[in-house]
Chain A
Amino acid sequence: MEPFLIRALAAGLGLALVSAPLGCFVVWNRMAYFGETIAQASLIGIALGLLLKLDLTLAVLAVAIATAGLLILLGRQKILPLDSILGIVAHAALAIGVIATTLVKGVSVDLMGYLFGDILAVSTDDLWWVYCGGAVVLAALWWIWRPLLALAVHEELAAAEGVNRERTKAIFILLLAITVAVAMKVIGILLIVAFLIMPAAAARVFARTPEQMAILAAVIAAVGVCLGLVLSFKIDVPGGPAIVVVLATAALGAIGFAGGSRQRA
């Protein structure tokens, strides 16, 4: 197998393992658009990183965290619902990001590469980021699993049982930001949330416990990465979008299956 294909597979599988369980919480906490907003804002991070000659992953991480903070602050106002706030911030961030990348002099910025990822061009350095960042995220998620799940099930009850709400939520948002930052080069800014929620959505139909759902989502994500890369290689289509199409088919197929079996029941 070609080395670039092995790197692509390694990056995709590593990301699948991390983003699937995290994506379950994104689904459970109805945070898909929250994640999308953070992801879109990371284009500003890329532009800043290029302008200031910083490490791109770290620059994206910083902007992702700042965006999450901004969203939490804006979520406290009571004039507009949260989805409108997210819509405003997400698209403002994308527009500012696109403008900012045009300000970068000297190098021509591969905007498409950042927006949709270039999994077949993943470097060894990127792999290090995926695996080190991924290990941190998985370890932290393991550590906060119980309180985070308790909050998703019933926030008041969890708090009454002694869960530290603010700290647990802050850690979760930090993990989301790290995942966005390390996934950015592999899957692309605009497809990260698909990678988070599609495997979880497909797994929901067949799981009976939260843990089953997380594990099943990881398996579905891994299979999706393999099938997507095969598709990409055989018929020469971009890798990230191919994976997302496979995962979307799995998610919608599973939901259709569940709807069909409910009607028969």
Chain B
Amino acid sequence: MQRPADRSTELHDCGHDHVPASGHHHHALDYPTMRPFETDALLAARGVTLSRDGRTILDHIDIDIGAGEIVTLIGPNGAGKTTLVRVLLGLMQPDQGEIRRMPGLRIGYAPQRFDLAPSIPMTVERFLEADIRSKTDSIGAALVEVGASRVRHSQLTHLSGGELQRVVLARALMRNPQLLVLDEPVRGVDYAGEAELYTLIGRLRNERGLGVLLVSHDLHVVMAQSDRVICVNRHVCCSGVPETVARSPEYVRLFGPEAARALGLYSHHHDHTHDLAGAPRPASDPAPSQSKAT
């Protein structure tokens, strides 16, 4: 699978603090005209805006996810990441803006929380038995793919957090999706499991050419695998390849210099030229040479 041409090197940096003050229209200034939809995107949104109880949750958000592309949505808690995912999935209607899905798009979704009511008896096997009943052992294949064959006959409520994540991912894969949407897939997973999960996601992208939308509030491993990182705090604060975002002062302000250093440690293995101490640069500063940390 050929990676799509990298169209994700732009750096949008707002360059000022975003107190959730009412009525700031900087995005209208940033984008005098809305960016047109890209024709090859699996899923795209333009100008998505949503308010609840007088509070702006999403403010003119643009996003594109193409085939074979890993897009990571990062942002602090309460930044509207999950709300944005729900809007993109069509579970919520935005007040303004437009969502476009490729016609016939199949989405595999792994939600952030999966708390099965203990009153429902459910084996992993039964849980995976969705609409598809093929003669080949597609359940077995999906479980092998996510490395969870061992739990096939277990009750869902008896699984560990990591096992449950894998099983939910297996269910998403069984729909043979073109786009995977994974909301905080490493929540409650230990570090080794996390790395393994990201390796798996990377492999799915490479082998099947899946588009992947990852949601995360935790960064260093994610960023290395992503083609594009979109930093959200109600609005899109900054976006670009992982290292561009990590260098953005807006990002440092949101996550603190700790997070930038964590990324620095990771990408150190790949690229020795960057100083990621987190020193803020002016917003007008052009992004320096970018390299993919994969």
Contact = CB atoms under 8 A, between A and B. Distances in A.
Interface stretch (A49-57, A116-124, A206-214): A206-214
Nearest to B168: A157
Given A28-B117, A160-B89, A208-B155, A154 B111 contact: yes
Interface stretch (B121-129, B188-196, B233-241, B279-287): B121-129
Interface string B86-124: 100111000000000000000101010010110111110
Contact of A28 (B119, B123, B127, B175): B119
Interface in A101-159: 146, 152-154, 156-157, 159
Contact of B122 (A146, A159, A209): A209
Contact of B121 (A30, A157, A160, A209): A209
Contacts, number: 52
Interface in A146-205: 146, 152-154, 156-157, 159-161, 204
Nearest to B115: A154
Contacts of A157: 109, 111, 114, 168
Contacts of B127: 153
Interface in B49-105: 86, 89-91
B91 A156 contact: yes
A160 B175 contact: no
A254 interface: no
Interface centre among A28, A146, A159, A209 (most CB of B within 10 A): A209
A159 B121 CA distance: 21
Contacts of B90: 160
Interface string B26-70: 000000000000000000000000000000000000000000000
A160 B92 CA distance: 10
A210 B126 contact: yes
A27 interface: yes
A209 B117 contact: no
A161 B117 contact: no
Contacts of B120: 28, 152-153, 210
B140 to A, nearest CB: 18
A81 B53 CA distance: 19
Contacts of B181: 160
Contacts of B131: 146
Contacts of B117: 28, 30, 152
A200 B116 CA distance: 17
A27 B119 contact: yes
Interface string A198-240: 0000001001111111000000000000000000000000000
A156 B181 CA distance: 13
A160 B107 contact: yes
Given A208-B123, A210-B121, A210-B122, A156 B116 contact: no
Nearest to B107: A160
A51 B89 CA distance: 51
Contacts of A161: 109, 130, 175
Nearest to A149: B120
Interface in A66-121: none
Nearest to B155: A208
Contact of A209 (B111, B116, B119, B126): B126
A208 B121 contact: yes
B116 A153 contact: yes
Nearest to A209: B126
A210 B121 CA distance: 6
B109 A207 contact: no
Contact of B119 (A154, A156, A159, A204): A204
A213 B126 CA distance: 13
A117 to B, nearest CB: 26
Given A152-B117, A153-B127, A208-B155, A160 B109 contact: yes
A108 to B, nearest CB: 42
A73 B66 CA distance: 41
A27 B120 CA distance: 8
Contacts of B109: 156-157, 160-161
A210 B116 CA distance: 13
A212 B91 contact: no
A250 B274 CA distance: 69
Contacts of A28: 117, 119-120
B111 A204 contact: no
A152 B119 CA distance: 10
B155 to A, nearest CB: 7
A212 B168 CA distance: 22
Contacts of B107: 160
Chain A to chain B: the 10 pairs with minimum beta-carbon distance, closest first? A160-B109, A207-B121, A209-B126, A160-B89, A28-B120, A27-B119, A156-B111, A159-B91, A157-B111, A213-B121
Interface of A: 27-28, 30, 146, 152-154, 156-157, 159-161, 204, 207-213
Given A157-B114, A161-B130, A213-B121, 7 more contacts: A30-B117, A157-B168, A160-B107, A160-B111, A208-B121, A209-B121, A209-B122
